[in-house]
Structure 1
Amino acid sequence: MPATSDDPSSMNQYSYEKEQRLLQHLMETVDTDEEYLDADSDLDEEPNLEQGEEGQLNHEQDDSPSRESSEEDIATASRNSLTFVGKDKQTRWKKISPMPRTTKTRSENIVKVLPGPSRLTKNFKSPLEIWKFFFCDEIINIIVVYTNKMIETVQASFSRDRDANFTDSEEIYALLGLLYLAGKYRASHLNLDDLWKADGSGIEIFRLVMSLRRFRFLMRVIRFDDKTTRQDRVKIDKLAPIREIFDLFIEKCRQGYHHSEYVTIDEMLLGFRGHCSFRQYIPSKPNKYGIKSFSNV
């Protein structure tokens, strides 16, 4: 007996094809009504037809099981091997790259550092710890030194010395904290008097940190470089007013986080409408005026 498949769909297809071949054989051999009746009786005795004719009928019946078994063999081989079989049942796709085992990976293609936080930052838990790593004490001290130099030049214009007192790192931290807090409350376009109001409509934490007079004074005199030598440095460096702090911040970024070996350099326009020689205007951007920066993505 020919082999059959356990799949019900394949068995139904096999029975249908067998009946079609049987009908075709009967139409070719029957010439009279008596022969048609004999053939009809032979239809009920299906095993006799399969064993009696050794011609085209048995030959065609043996083709379908062999084809089905070959497809099963291909599917089994695909599951047990490292290849995929295409829809045409002939094309094979390898699951791994056809690189010979004797070929060594080039040294420049070996990933030696995994992407993610470095050993210096991977144990940080709070946002304050992460912020203080990137804006380290060295950066804050630079701001304090250059701000005090600026305060020294303007002290003569104040009648009271307490209105132009020198600053320190703790006060600079407080000033930066208020600027972050104003951004959190979306108060960048509000009047400062509204933030420091004591009638209940203002934000109390602003009054508790420092007075409005002191805040305005620090925002006026805060500096990130030596103003007396800036003109000479601007001729060769457009980032001269923040170059020292900018380089320290970039170095902290390199120390605190490792990029993947596969990164893309993209650009973005940071909204800015102040005085800047390299400010750009791009009408298609949400912030049409700003500073274009490039970063890894």
Structure 2
Amino acid sequence: MQLSPRPPCSSQYSTDEVEFAGGELTPHSLQSVGRCRDPEDGEEASMSTAAVPSASCSGSGNKQAQTSTPSTAVPPVRHESSKKRWPDSVWSDQKTDWHPKDFPFTATPGPRGAAAELQSDNPVDFLELLLTDELLELICLETNRYADQQPPTDQPHSRSREWQPVTVMELKRFFGLLFLTGLMQKPDLELYWAMEEPTAAPYFNKTMSRNRFQIIWYNLHFTNSETLDKNDKLCKIRQVLDYLLSKFKELYMPGQDISIDEGTLLWRGRLGFQVYNPAKPTKVGIKSYILACSKTGFCFAMKPYSGEPVVPVSRCDVPLVQEVVVFLLEGLTGFGYRLWMDNHYNSVRLSKFLLGLHVHTCGTLRKHRGEPGAITELTMAMLEDGETVMRHDDNVMVVAWRDKRVIKMVTTFHQHDMVKNLKKQTGQKEKVATAKPTCFAEYNHCMNGVDKLDQNLAYYYFVRKTCKWTKKFVMYLIQISVFNAFVLYKAKNPASSKTLYQFILSVVTSWTTRTTRRENKTAVKEGEGVRDEYQDQEEPSYCARAPYLHDPPSRMDGNAAAHLLFRIPPTQKKYPTKGCRVHARHGVRKGTRVQCKSCNVPLCKGICAYLYHTKLNYQDYPLDQGFPAFSNPP
């Protein structure tokens, strides 16, 4: 799961084509293509991009390019400034002269590898291709290690004193209940175990106790805290992150149209690489660069922003966002993909560079990103409504179009033609037909891969509030894995009508019922006045829990047969106990091994059970004086 080693610098790059070993782009390819030290003369060499015109860059003083630059060099990918752009003589406005390069799409989109071989209609089988037992064993190992590393506590009733190592089967139950919280939204995690009607959710208590769930959540860990790499800000989640991203690429190939955009995980705590963007719905949090399939929203690649460059670069003239583009495209170069990006990433030079990797690009363009001067200087007053201005060279076309404002776009595979567009105008009841450039119309349709991903994640969001960013981010990765598994399921079962809700619910059912719940293997002997109803059951039972703040209204109905005391079934303890309700109302902590069958309230046999079922204010009667003065006490 480590990145491939850095390729050595070589002279195989030419001004006509940028070649990579095996047609594959490695995470360090950009560093090799940028600047590298020549082992022969020990001098740094600047290298030129594929298919870049040989004309020199014109600056404010019309400086000529250095003659000492080797002809086999490729310049580094970087933002263009107003003082460093291609001269206008390179650009043409003749539509007939523009012939974009046509690369056939040679990839096979859809599931591949183990996902392509899987013949199943069970949703959990597809999720377990991503959340494998190998990954869950890693989480169990680090969670148990972290729990053992905690210092012992002096509190006699602390939950940490009852810690038992978590297993893969139990971790699946834990994640199953966590997925279920996304389907049943409640403001607080503890409310899922509350028994007050009508919001009670007994399935949670039936599957796992609240205390056990909370202590697993408290100790959930993903790496060894004693062997952290201090130079890696993501070292605490690195193993899970690399494993899941490798699975995303291993199991699915996106369609021809792919898009890159940012996704933000809400985080308001203190964090060194937290970002703030007021233009986004989630304004503050952890930002991630995501490459997704425009058709399905499948997350193929991801790069969390942590402040440092994607690849170690010894120079500062290469923008981080453009290195991110090359990093995310690993495994997709050479197939004729069409990449859609917004103006945060795009530049003319980046488009030419990616064209040498057989990757078409299209997207909006900011000012001073290498566009010709005729495009840069355009204003609203210079264009009619709907008018366009086009310039192109041998590889790239730049278009400016006036809509509500002047919008600029760079593309390497569109013709300069118009399509019909229905637009609603003020004062008109019906939409008015207008003309829009084809590249703008297709951009609106294809630049939505990450938006589809975010939209589906928001439907059943189970990422919980926590004080540790590592837990929240890993839950974010697992939520993405659930959606990716749903895309794999729909691709392999196109006739299935399951929705994302039904897919998650099926996974929850499989992980919480297919595994063993609350091991009740030992039958408890029948005690005096206590019946045992668990010894003949095949399925392990569970002990329902009554509301603590409110007593059930049926406790004083006079039906003694309905209020028999039954022994609390075994859990991880052979003889578990609970706090007696009557003693608790008297301010005394006393455990009991039985509870009322109808009220689901733990009670001590004798005086406590009698007072609870006969007295309205049972907390006012003393417990040390025995039964009240009756002729025939029970």
Q: Among residues 116, 131, 142, which one is paired with 1:135 in the alignment? A: 131
User: Structure 1 118/212 Cα, relative in aligned 2: closer, same or farther at 3 Å?
Assistant: same
Q: 1:247 Cα deviation (Å)?
A: 0.7
Deviation at 1:262, TM superposition (A): 4.0
Equivalence for 2:245: 250
Residue 221 of structure 1 corresponds to: 219
Q: 1:119: Cα distance to partner?
A: 4.1
Q: How does 1:9-88 map to 2 (within 5 A)?
A: none
SS at match of 2:152: helix
Distance 1:273 1:128, change over 3 A: farther
Q: Which has the larger radius of gyration?
A: 1
- Note if 1:288 corresponds to 2:283: yes
Letter paired with 1:130: F
TM superposition shift of 1:127:
2.3
Change (3 A) 1:155 1:113: same
Is the Cα–Cα contact under 8 Å of residues 278 and 291 in structure 1 kept in the other structure? yes
Which amino acid counterpart does residue 208 of structure 1 have in structure 2?
Answer: K
Q: Which moved more, 1:151-160 or 1:133-142?
A: 151-160
Q: What amino acid maps onto 1:221 in structure 2?
A: N
Summarize the Cα distance change of 1:184–1:276 in structure 2 as closer, same or farther, 3 Å threshold.
farther
* Displacement of 1:153: 2.2
SS of the aligned residue for 1:240 comes to coil
Of residues 112-121 and 243-252 in structure 1, the stretch that sits farther from structure 2 once superposed is 112-121
Letter matched to residue 251 of structure 1: S
Structure-2 residue corresponding to 1:88: none
Note if 1:267 corresponds to 2:265.
no
Deviation digits for residues 213-253 of structure 1 (CA, Å, limit 9, x no counterpart): 111111111100001122xx1x3211101101111101110
| Residue 285 (structure 1) shift | 1.8
Normalised by the length of structure 2, the TM-score is: 0.28
1:275 is displaced (CA, Å) by 4.3
Distance 1:140 1:275 in 2: 28
Q: For 2:188, give the aligned amino acid.
A: L
Cα distance change of structure 1 residues 219 and 248 upon mapping to structure 2, 3 Å threshold: same
Q: Which has the higher strand share?
A: 2
What amino acid maps onto 2:148 in structure 1? E
Describe how 1:176-191 pairs up with structure 2 within 5 A.
176-187=175-186, 189-191=187-189
When normalised by structure 1's length, the TM-score is 0.57
Question: What is the CA–CA distance in structure 1 between the aligned matches of 2:120 and 2:276, rounded to whole Å?
Answer: 39
What are the superposed Cα offsets for residues 121-178 of structure 1, whole Å, 9 maximum, x if unpaired? 1334332112111111111010000111112123732758871111111111111111
Q: Which whole-Å CA distance do the structure 2 matches of 1:168 and 1:155 have between them?
A: 22
Whether 1:196 aligns to 2:193 is yes
Superposed CA deviations along residues 166-211 of structure 1, whole A, max 9, x for unmatched, are: 1111111111111111111122x2251x211223332111101111
Question: Deviation at 1:261?
Answer: 4.3
What is the distance in 2 between the residues matched to 1:266 and 1:182? 28
Q: How does 1:149-168 map to 2 (within 5 A)?
A: 149-154=145-150, 156-157=152-153, 159=156, 163-168=162-167
Structure 2 CA distance, aligned partners of 1:145 and 1:282? Answer: 37
The structure where helix makes up a greater share of residues is 1
- Report the counterpart of residue 36 of structure 1 in structure 2: none
Closer, same or farther in 2 for the Cα pair 1:275/1:116, shift >3 Å? farther
Distance 1:154 1:186 in 2: 32
1:293 corresponds to which letter in structure 2? S
Distance 1:272 1:223 in 2: 19
On the 8 A contact 1:155/1:164 being kept in 2, the answer is no
Once residues 177 and 147 of structure 1 are traced to their aligned partners in structure 2, the CA distance between those partners, rounded to angstroms, is: 17
Structure 2 residue matching 1:290: 3-state secondary structure: strand
Q: Is the 8 A contact 1:196 1:202 kept in 2?
A: yes
Single out whichever of 146-155 and 235-244 deviates more from structure 2: 146-155
Q: Tell me, yes or no, if structure 1 residue 148 matches structure 2 residue 144.
A: yes
What is aligned with 1:239? 234
Provide closer, same or farther for how the CA distance between residues 275 and 180 of structure 1 changes in structure 2, counting only shifts above 3 A.
farther
Match of 2:205 in 1: 207
Which residue of structure 2 lines up, in the alignment, with residue 172 of structure 1? 171
Q: Quick one: structure 1 residues 191 and 222, their matched pair in 2 at CA, closer, same or farther if it must change by over 3 Å?
A: closer
Q: Give the secondary structure class of the aligned counterpart of 2:124.
A: helix
- Segments of structure 1 that go 5 or more residues without pairing to the other structure are 1-97, 100-104
Establish whether residue 115 from structure 1 lines up as the match of residue 114 from structure 2: no
2:146 alignment partner AA:
M
Residue deviations 1:6-29 (CA, integer Å, cap 9, x gap): xxxxxxxxxxxxxxxxxxxxxxxx
- Decide which of 101, 122, 127 is 1:126's aligned counterpart: 122
Shift of 1:294: 1.5
Secondary structure, aligned partner of 1:172: helix
Q: Which amino acid aligns with 2:267?
A: F
- Indicate conservation of the 8 Å contact 1:264/1:296, yes or no: yes
Identical-residue share of aligned pairs (%): 26
Farther off after superposition, 261-270 or 156-165: 156-165
Matched AA of 1:172 = L
Q: Distance in 1 between matches of 2:122 and 2:195?
A: 32
Q: Retained in 2: the 8 A contact 1:163–1:214?
A: no
Query: Number of matched residues?
Result: 189
CA distance in 2, matches of 1:121, 1:247: 19
In structure 1, what is the Cα distance between the partners aligned to 2:176 and 2:268? 23
Give the Cα–Cα distance (whole angstroms) in 1 for the partners of residues 121 and 273 of structure 2: 38
* Deviation for aligned residue 1:274: 4.1
Distance 2:188 2:128 in 1: 28
CA RMSD between the two structures: 2.7
